[in-house]
Amino acid sequence: MSHFSRRQILQILTGVALLANPFIAEAAQVPTLKCTRVGQTIIWRDKKYTCVKSGNKLVWNKGVPVTPAKPTPSATTQPSTQPTPTTSTAPRPAYTPPPDEFAVAKSANLKLNQPISVSNPSLNYPARGYILIRREDGVIAFSNRCTHLGRDVEISGSQLVCFAHGSYFEATTGKPTGGPATRNLILLPTIERDGTIFVVDAP
Ligand code: FES
**Ligand 1 pocket, mutate which of 144, 165, 183 (most atoms under 8 A from CB):** 165
Q: Please tell me what DSSP assigns to residue 132.
A: E
Model confidence pLDDT, tens digit, residues 161-181: 999 999 999 999 999 999 999
Q: Does residue 80 carry a pLDDT above 80? A: no
Centre of ligand 1 from the C-alpha of residue 170, in Å: 15
Bridge partners of 198?
103, 191
Model confidence pLDDT, tens digit, residues 12-42: 654 544 444 434 434 446 677 778 888 888 8
Model confidence pLDDT, tens digit, residues 32-73: 777 888 888 888 777 888 888 888 888 888 888 877 656 555
Residues with Cβ within 6 A of ligand 1?
A: 146, 148-151, 162, 164-165, 167, 179-181
Q: Does residue 201 carry a pLDDT above 80? A: yes
Model confidence pTM above 0.75: no
Phi, psi of 26 (to 5 degrees): -90, -10
CA-to-CA dists, residue 187 to 117, 122, 151, 171, 199, angstroms:
14, 19, 16, 12, 10
Atom of ligand 1 nearest to the CA of 181: 3
